[in-house]
A and B are shown apart, each in its own frame.
Chain A
Amino acid sequence: MTSIGTGYDLSNSVFSPDGRNFQVEYAVKAVENGGTAIGIRCKDGVVLGLEKLVSSKLLKKDANKRISTVDRNMGVVYSGLQPDGKHFVSRARDEASSWRSTYKAPIPVSSLANRMGSYVQAYTLYNSVRPFGITAIIGGYDAETELSVDGAVGSGPKSGSGGKTKGAKEGGPYLYMIEPSGTYWGYYGAASGKGRQAAKSELEKLKLDPKDGECISLEEGVKEAARIIYVAHEDNKDKDFELELTWVSSVAGPTKGRHEEVPKALREEAEKLAKKSMEGDEDDEEEEKMEE
């Protein structure tokens, strides 16, 4: 059934006779026009990457960061409308902060995804608002080591179990993606935006599912993320872009449990490898043609 001309697509929160909310589907269209964003959940951390399309030569280079920190151990990247993304991030920060004031500890990634999923979904319920024109990818690292309660002053009892289960393992790297409908899933590798199809097929080639044995490492993840963004940019070659990469590891890892920008040296290396692999592909294609 077509949406246009029926009138069912003119207002949010209205179902069409076949049970669709067209305004949400149109919001998805806004996302599909945006630069590609990806997230990779690696063995020892999460990498977020973004193909940031450069709309003008007058923009300041390396400013205008789009991947945001929500809490110390968590980051968000999004495709779609920049102002909607900023709103989303601002709400996520409020959620993380209010969680801290209630529980005196950082919010787990799954809980943040849940709360933000509910928030985004609420914008599909009323005709007085429009849905978010973004798809957001949340990546973070829930601490595995026991964290002290925020504001603790002593070290607590020196003996006794303290109600903990011995040997119970918790925490680790987590990755979620939230769509304009409010739907969210956990992912090993997630992609959104214009080049998501190409990015997805690249992500599927990586070893990310723990069931298939050892996953790729964080550092490999960074290089793959750079490469995948370059692959995803192929369809959009006429536009310039800047590569943005952030990562988060465990407290023992390179970022010390924090969500940070990938250090310049590593990013440049990853970018160089990405460019090289692109050239390689082209050569292959040419060779193939030659053979033909």
Chain B
Amino acid sequence: MFRNNYDNDSVTFSPQGRIFQVEYAQEAVKQGSVVVGIVSKTHAVLAALKRNAEELSSYQKKIIPIDTHYGIALAGLASDARVLSNFMKQQSLASRLTYDRPIPLSEITSRIGDRAQTNTQHYGKRPYGVGLLIAGVDQKGPHLFEFQPSGVTQEMVACGIGARSQMARTYLERNLDEFEGSSREELIKHALRALKDSLAQDKELTIENTSLGVAGVDENFKMYEGQEIANWLETTFERPEGGEGEGMEVDS
């Protein structure tokens, strides 16, 4: 049943010094639908592709606002993300209560990193099966952090995780130099384009399957869904009918 003797649990090193259970947990992240995050000098943006189980079901939750100054996007096991997000909400409130200070993003990221690490060193626990992008603004400005099941946390300028996210990352790497100076709207467009690049050929971004989260200096984190993002989709991806875009809108 097992591929080898060393992948039964997360407390066994392989002869090469790898921990297979942790690596398998990383695979769970790749099963989740793609999420993208970017920061500029003034803003942090998250964009996510939502899946629905079937035609008539609702779409999954991919972006979770945590505190007024930041939120997360997840790829992988949503229930693990819920545990982590509840923990993050508690910690964020504790910081506001104790110090009257919005929790620094580096701090909260490192706390969930430490929690995830424990799961990789003790028998009877399993690593979290979810990857997170943590985006928002604190006293030091806008930030984007990536969290992995191994407990690795890194501050990024831009990042994409989840199924087919390599395509998104390729887009991000190609446009890396533009992000820092981007305006709020430009940044949102970059995030949507990166998201689009990782879609399968026959898929489109629609107001149903796309979520956005935006935070800025002096702008609280807010999630945008449904009709709220129609314009952004419209202006980012000028449809083949391009020129008659205006006319199309009248029709609907």
Q: Which residue of A lies closest to B117 (CB)?
A: A83
Within residues 145 to 185 of chain B, which ones have a CB less than 8 A from any CB in chain A?
150-152, 154-159, 169, 172-173, 176
Pairwise interchain contact A83-B150, C-beta atoms closer than 8 A:
yes
Q: Is B123 an interface residue (CB 8 A)?
A: yes
Minimum distance in angstroms from B20 CB to a CB of chain A:
12
Give the contacting residue for A63; candidates B12, B120, B155, B159; CB below 8 A: B155
Give the contacting residue for B157; candidates A3, A26, A31, A59; CB below 8 A: A59
Within residues 55 to 80 of chain A, which ones have a CB less than 8 A from any CB in chain B?
56-60, 63-64
Interface string of B10-30 (1 = CB under 8 A from A): 111111111100000000000
Q: Which residue of B lies closest to A57 (CB)?
A: B173
Pairwise interchain contact B12-A58, C-beta atoms closer than 8 A:
no
Q: Determine the interface band of chain B, counting residues with CB < 8 A from chain A.
A: 35 or more
A contact residues around B155 at 8 Å (CB) = 59-60, 63-64
B contact residues around A64 at 8 Å (CB) = 154-155
Pairwise interchain contact A83-B116, C-beta atoms closer than 8 A:
yes
Known: A83-B116, A86-B110, A127-B123. A27 touches B169 (CB 8 A): no
Within residues 1 to 40 of chain A, which ones have a CB less than 8 A from any CB in chain B?
3-4, 9-12, 22-23, 26-33
Pairwise interchain contact A83-B13, C-beta atoms closer than 8 A:
no
Q: Is A261 an interface residue (CB 8 A)?
A: no
Minimum distance in angstroms from A42 CB to a CB of chain B:
31
A33 to B13, CA, bound (A): 13
Q: Is A145 an interface residue (CB 8 A)?
A: no
Pairwise interchain contact B11-A12, C-beta atoms closer than 8 A:
yes
A contact residues around B113 at 8 Å (CB) = 83, 86
A contact residues around B124 at 8 Å (CB) = 128
Pairwise interchain contact A9-B114, C-beta atoms closer than 8 A:
no
Q: Is A209 an interface residue (CB 8 A)?
A: no
Pairwise interchain contact A130-B15, C-beta atoms closer than 8 A:
no
Pairwise interchain contact A87-B169, C-beta atoms closer than 8 A:
no
Pairwise interchain contact B123-A29, C-beta atoms closer than 8 A:
no
Known: A58-B169, A59-B155, A83-B151. A133 touches B17 (CB 8 A): yes
Minimum distance in angstroms from A228 CB to a CB of chain B:
24
Known: A10-B6, A87-B121. A30 touches B18 (CB 8 A): yes
A contact residues around B116 at 8 Å (CB) = 83
- With a 10 A CB-CB cut-off, give which of A59, A83, A90, A127 has the most chain B CB atoms: A83
Q: Is B5 an interface residue (CB 8 A)?
A: yes
Q: Is B122 an interface residue (CB 8 A)?
A: yes
Pairwise interchain contact B13-A29, C-beta atoms closer than 8 A:
yes
Within residues 77 to 126 of chain B, which ones have a CB less than 8 A from any CB in chain A?
110, 113-114, 116-118, 120-124
Q: Is A144 an interface residue (CB 8 A)?
A: no
**Could you jot down 7 A-B contacts, CB within 8 Å?**
A12-B12, A31-B17, A60-B155, A83-B114, A83-B116, A129-B11, A130-B11
